[in-house]
Chain A
Amino acid sequence: MSGTGQDKAAKTGRWMIWLPLVLFAAFVALVMIGLFRPAPREVASTLIDKPMPEFDLPPGLPGRPGLASADLKGGEPHLVNIFASWCLPCRVEAPQLERLAAMGVPVEGISVRDRTADLQQFLATYGDPFERIGADDDGQVQLALGSSGVPETYVIDGKGVIRYQHIGEIRAEDIPMILEKLEEARR
């Protein structure tokens, strides 16, 4: 009787001896998955479906209107493009913004940490699709919007609520999706 009990104990002992190795292998597997899975580099704003923070930016160009959050509550959806003359992908994106503006989409700009002369040159070279451009020289409105880089484009509905954030440049293939988001914002 006691013999079988000891056998049983010996058996569980033999099985138990592998447990640390199994745990260690599981740990290594976990670390490997974490190491080799590409980490997300984008930091998305958590303000989606929340009202646009209040702001009132001075004009980026003399003689043109600046941008205030009140301008975005007119009942029609807007695109708000965060851009800068020093930003290379913004140049890639410029023709797509022009296309959207040509389709009748109101495109507003917020230029981040920029200079008037640089901005003028940028718009003269790559096109100017903007109805208004607010100059966010110290980058505080960018932070208020939860934007972590340039370019980023927000879809704002007619009540001034953020409906979508596009991180990175808008490419030709993104246009249908952007139009759909604008259509959703209209509803």
Chain B
Amino acid sequence: MKHVLAMLLGLIATTLAAPAVLAQEEQTAPYAYRQLDDPEQEARAHDLMVTLRCLQCQGQSIADSDAPIAGSMRSLVRERIAAGETPDQIRDWLMERYGDYVSYEPRVTALTWPLFALPVVLILLAVVLLRRRFRSGRAAA
């Protein structure tokens, strides 16, 4: 109860103070909070949005984030999907500007290949070790 009261007071305080202290960040991008009319296009846009990183919050995808810049990015994705661009083209366009950082989809690069190679190396090592162990076991018997 105390908690709720404090929250209410805080809410009242911020709504009273906000106009005087700081102008609000406006979100006028048309598709920030509006889905595309074509459900198939919206599904494609959404699949892309969950793999793109919000530039300000950095721990969230633009599909999850309520940051205004994430709204701008969602609108960008939806507008471009509606205009007929493929998700890969849009991802490439963003990566051209923000680097690998903006994408959550793992890629094999000169830096990341060990991550992909290591499991294979470990499995091979395990196979070699196990074979040696079984062989020596049979030789002893």
B50 within 8 A of A: no
Q: Do B98 and A45 have beta carbons less than 8 Å apart?
A: yes
Bound complex: CA A45 to CA B98 (Å): 5
In the assembled complex, how far is the CB of residue B118 from the closest CB belonging to chain A, in whole angstroms? 12
Most chain B CB neighbours (cut-off 10 Å) among A44, A138, A145: A138
Q: Which of A47, A86, A122, A144 contacts B25 (CB 8 A)?
A: A86
- Partner-contacting stretch, out of B34-42, B70-78, B106-114: B70-78
A146 within 8 A of B: yes
Interface residues on B, range: 20 to 34
Most chain A CB neighbours (cut-off 10 Å) among B56, B71, B98, B102: B98
Bound complex: CA A85 to CA B29 (Å): 18
Known: A113-B26, A113-B27. A140 touches B76 (CB 8 A): yes
Bound complex: CA A121 to CA B76 (Å): 29
In the assembled complex, how far is the CB of residue A183 from the closest CB belonging to chain B, in whole angstroms? 26
A139 within 8 A of B: yes
Bound complex: CA A8 to CA B117 (Å): 33
Q: Which of A41, A115, A122, A149 contacts B69 (CB 8 A)?
A: A149
Q: Do B25 and A146 have beta carbons less than 8 Å apart?
A: no
Closest to B24 in A: A86
Known: A41-B58, A139-B68. A115 touches B97 (CB 8 A): no
Residues of B within 8 A of A140 (CB): 29, 72, 75-76
Known: A148-B69, A149-B56. A137 touches B26 (CB 8 A): yes
- Other than A41-B58, A43-B101, A86-B24, give 7 A-B pairs with Cβ distance below 8 A: A43-B99, A45-B98, A113-B27, A139-B68, A142-B69, A143-B72, A149-B55
8 shortest A-B CB distances, which residue pairs? Answer: A139-B72, A146-B97, A138-B29, A118-B23, A148-B55, A137-B28, A85-B23, A86-B23
